Amino acid sequence: MVRTIGLLFLVIASTLLGLCGANSAPADAQQSGSGQVWSLTTPFGIIYGIIGREVVDYPTARAAGTIVVSTGQRRLYYVLGGGKAVRYAIAVGMEGYAWSGVSTVTAKREWPDWSPTPGELKRFPTLPRHMAGGADNPLGARALYLGDTLYRIHGTNEPWKLGGGVSSGCIRMSNDDIVDLYNRAKIGATVIVQR
């Protein structure tokens, strides 16, 4: 039985690697948003993939440590300096909830608790009033709190939604990416959210 399951896993993995290639989405994959998330329908169900973070050329006069969110590109850039930045895939606010402006990172939390805002509870009255941090929590593995706003840059337990406009204004990242950003970003870092 174990051998059969192992063999089946190898066949599936080989098939997927043949379709997907080592570092790219399958040619026939469905693209979402600006391309960060792909899905592929197979006989075994839908398989999702996320195009991961990468260091890119990013000429800017902004100081190293600045976070720049491009809601139109569905990308977040962490400025490294020397014309480079780490680029991450993100999800942004749904239509009517997107915002732009300048803030600062005022707090950082690991596996943060979540309490929906009054606006979220009005739109979605069946939401829990409070949820302890953990794998099922919609804030994911880490959160960076922005100024005195209700907005955060945080992880997600729904990574297939990356690339979309799905939140109430918060910036969502995969849990792997928010952990990476959390480890880089400092309290007091400037955050610029722009189209």
Domains and CATH numbers, the chain: 2-50 (no CATH), 54-194 (2.40.440.10)
pLDDT of residue 163: 85
Q: How far apart are CA 36 and CA 195, in angstroms?
A: 17
* Tokens standing for residue 68: 């720049």
- The answer to whether residue 115 scores a pLDDT higher than 80 is yes
Task: Tell me if residue 192 falls in helix, strand or coil.
Answer: strand
Q: What's the half-sphere exposure (Cβ side, CA atoms, 13 Å) at 93?
A: 18
Give per-residue pLDDT as tens, 48-106.
455 678 999 999 999 999 999 999 899 999 999 999 999 999 999 877 777 889 999 99
The pLDDT assigned to 42 comes to 58
Q: What is the pTM of this model?
A: 0.73
Q: Which residues are catalytic?
A: 154, 170
pLDDT tens per residue across span 171-195: 999 999 999 999 999 999 999 999 8
Other residues' Cβ atoms within 10 Å of the Cβ of residue 73: 18
Residue 90: exposed, middle, or buried by beta-carbon count in 10 A (0-12, 13-18, 19+)?
buried
pLDDT at 21 over 70: no
Q: For residue 123, what are the contacts with CB-CB under 8 A and spacing of at least 6?
A: none
What are the tens digits of pLDDT across the range 125-156? 998 899 898 988 989 999 999 998 889 999 99
